[in-house]
Amino acid sequence: MEMKQEILNNLSNRKLTLPKLIKIMHIKGEEKRASFLNALNELEIEGKVYLDDKGYYQIFKSKSLNKVQGKINISKYGNGSVELNNGKTKIKYIIEEENIGGALNGDIVVLTDIQPLRKNYNEAKVEKVVKRNNGLAVFEYNGEDFIPYGIKNKIRILCPKSTMKGIVAGSRVLVKIDREQINTQGELLIYGADVQKIIGHKDDPDIEIESIAAKYGFVKEFPQEVMDEVAKIPDKVLPEEIEGRTDLRDEIIFTIDGKDTKDMDDAVSLKKDDKGNYILGVHIADVSHYVKEDSALFKEALKRGTSAYLIDSVIPMLPHELSNGICSLNPNVDRLTKTAQMTITPEGKIIDYEIFDSVIKSRKKMTYEDVNQILERNIQVEGYEEYEETLKLMNELSQILSYNSQKRGNIEFYSDELKVEVTKEGSPLDFIERHQGAAEKLIENFMIAANTSVTKYFSDMDVPFIYRVHAVPNGDKLIKALKTLKEEGLSDKKIIDRLINKISNNKYNSKDLKEFLETFKNQKDIYSIISDLLLRGMSKAVYSTVNEGHYGLSLRYYTHFTSPIRRFPDLMVHHLINRYLMYIDIDKNLNELPEMCDTSSVMERRADSAEKEAVELKMAEYMDKHVGEIFNGRITSISPRKVDIKLLNQVRGIASLDDVLKVPNKQGINPKYKLGDRVFALVKEVDIPNRTIYFVVSKTEIHAPKPESELSHVKKLTKES
């Protein structure tokens, strides 16, 4: 800190080269020089110091330099944006594809040539990259050059020969790109890079999914030292491991999961006491028993952060021997668990809870589909007969918990999660919206109850802990979304004005948003659009050592305790429970918790992005066979550059404004397009590397082109716009 301040003091009101700054500050000795350079680099990354193209450092003053610095977000369409806070408002800088200047998504960049567009919106271009996010990108080798794959950027790379071993024409590789540009070649920007991994060959059957996994930092293979530790772990529970645990093997305990689930974290049990209270047991795989702190397994789990589920494949956080084997709560075998046992009144209030180590033997692996048959349709399912009474009691409690959740203001946003059905070879067949039935809701409610109870227990102990927090949303963003709804006429203007007034005066809570959303629940298509708009104004939930509560769930206490097989924070929470309940190594590595939270939050976002891109890939592959065909769809978003379309078959794509046809109706009136409008969408082009489907859309019926003249027909349609 002192070194940084000294640098800033010496740069006050003047520009200095690096040698001059070193001389003035009397930097001598290797250790002091390293400290100085590190401090100077941090100041540049923080946007406090600016280095110009002549090698002079100066204080970063945005107004005099007419430059700003921030993190760039680059869409798959090639354009970028940087959002910066200016007091209570946010200013957005738009960067066109040709002005990205070699930046990759998430890089910290300096923007120049700033031109106002409209209030709080500016146009700019990237001057330079100050810090790479991770520098990772996928390239394809054509025998002479590395060509960016899935990146709309005029980048080319030069790789050292030492990293080129095994690379042939058609190789798809993951590279790490340097920050500094080393040359230009016409419009191309040349950067140095190192090959991190050969993903495969462009003709390999799973190359696209493998490319997505590599791009976001997920690998199937585990280091040898990890597998050496796995080899020493028994594949069944040993008698000595049960000692000191509460034996629940005679209890009626079972799992409820998707039919294809192999990594089962949680099992449940329920009964009533003589006072009519529910005794709910949530039994979670005790992964911490096998994955010890400071072990290679633990370090690898921290590095991965989470499992990634890419269509029909899983890239697990833990090796399959653990995730599908000894840790998974498979039926009819002993398993070590951590139990959260809660006493809940008939009104749904948790009046008592305890957390303890246990051993269980799950009676049955139930599926959501079968349990929904029983709970929603009262259909008897073979093999479930002896559990029907317990399942119906669970559903009774679940409905009580749901009612309380709604009453306190839990916001139920529309979920657009899809199940992608594929062939054995991975070809897409169908896209089906995931339906949350009674069984799914039951498990969700029970897991929330367990997560809340565990958090409350350790929060009351006032010990360092990991929380799952969801901050109060950005009021400006919410107001912007609501104004869009008002302009589009999707909601009553008076209702919107009242809500905007509450948000403006900071007199709103999650219940206000929940009640507003609920007015659209019977209009499924509109509900999904409005839900998506409001979600853009919400903060993302993250992991933190500071308990700020969970806004979306309207809960004061919340963590993730229930999925230690597939999420690192849950595993770490289990280790903290071990320490605090057994009073062993209580202070060990607690200073590392914030970094663990940050890493886990980052990896969670990467997994989400990878999973989303995998779905977009399958949509692109599916629609690639339907170029030139017409589909029915609905407008879900309108921006200055494009219109987003969602087809009835759940496939999503875009239409540029040039491809939104203004064909007059029978009365000769040109149509106006707004959110929620139904449209006809002709598949114009499919870009598989960028996972994008391009449509030509019209409000009036358009006709599919003849196969031999698809392209000319599309061009003709575009000219009519």
CA distance 80 to 129: 13
Assess contact for 402 and 445: CB atoms under 8 A: yes
Q: How confident is the model at residue 704 (pLDDT cuts 50, 70, 90)?
A: low
Least confident range from 184-193, 237-246, 398-407, 449-458: namely 184-193
CA distance 136 to 104: 8
Residue type at 374 in one-letter notation: I
Same fold, 62-131 and 627-719: yes
List pLDDT tens digits, range 612-661.
Answer: 999 999 999 999 999 999 999 999 988 888 999 999 999 999 999 999 98
Shortest CA distance to 8 belongs to which of 35, 63, 62, 48? 48
2-59 has CATH 1.10.10 classification: yes
Fold (topology level) of 136-204: OB fold (Dihydrolipoamide Acetyltransferase, E2P) (2.40.50)
Report whether pLDDT(717) > 50. no
Q: How confident is the model at residue 1 (pLDDT cuts 50, 70, 90)?
A: low
List pLDDT tens digits, range 357-381.
Answer: 999 999 999 999 999 999 999 999 9
Predicted pLDDT of residue 412: 82
Q: What percent of the chain clears pLDDT 90, i.e. is strictly above it?
A: 72
Shortest CA distance to 321 belongs to which of 297, 349, 348? 297
Predicted pLDDT of residue 388: 97
DSSP element (H, E) containing 282: strand 278-285
Predicted pLDDT of residue 666: 67
Sign of dihedral through CA atoms 364, 369, 370, 372? positive
Assess contact for 357 and 245: CB atoms under 8 A: yes
Report whether pLDDT(75) > 80. yes
Least confident range from 17-21, 412-416, 446-450, 501-505: namely 412-416
Q: Where are the alpha helices (DSSP H) in 422-567?
A: 438-460, 475-488, 493-504, 510-518, 524-535
Torsion of CA 665, 667, 669, 674, to 10 degrees: -60
Shortest CA distance to 364 belongs to which of 282, 269, 436? 269
The better pLDDT of the pair 696, 153 is held by: 696
Torsion of CA 393, 394, 395, 396, to 10 degrees: 50
Q: C-alpha 609: how far from its chain's center?
A: 5
Six token digits for residue 110: 């300096």
Report whether pLDDT(255) > 60. yes
Six token digits for residue 14: 């003047």
Mean pLDDT calculated for residue range 400-424 = 89
List pLDDT tens digits, range 256-267.
Answer: 999 989 999 999
DSSP element (H, E) containing 581: helix 568-582
| Mean pLDDT of all residues belonging to the chain | 91
Mean pLDDT calculated for residue range 42-47 = 94
Six token digits for residue 703: 């006709």
The better pLDDT of the pair 582, 684 is held by: 684
Q: How confident is the model at residue 489 (pLDDT cuts 50, 70, 90)?
A: confident
List pLDDT tens digits, range 276-330.
Answer: 999 999 999 999 999 999 999 999 999 999 999 999 899 999 999 999 999 999 9
Q: How confident is the model at residue 586 (pLDDT cuts 50, 70, 90)?
A: confident
Class of residue 378 by CB neighbours under 10 A (exposed 0-12, middle 13-18, buried 19+): exposed
The better pLDDT of the pair 291, 522 is held by: 291
Least confident range from 75-79, 94-98, 366-370, 709-713: namely 709-713
Predicted pLDDT of residue 122: 92
Q: Looking at the domain that runs over 627-719, which CATH code has it been given?
A: 2.40.50.140
Residue type at 129 in one-letter notation: V
Assess contact for 66 and 114: CB atoms under 8 A: yes
Fold (topology level) of 62-131: OB fold (Dihydrolipoamide Acetyltransferase, E2P) (2.40.50)
CA distance 491 to 533: 13
Residue type at 650 in one-letter notation: Q
- The residue ranges of every structural domain in the chain are 2-59, 62-131, 136-204, 224-397+409-466+556-612, 472-538, 627-719
473-494 burial by CB neighbour count: b if 16+ within 10 A, else e? bbbebbbebbebbbebebbeee
CA distance 270 to 279: 6
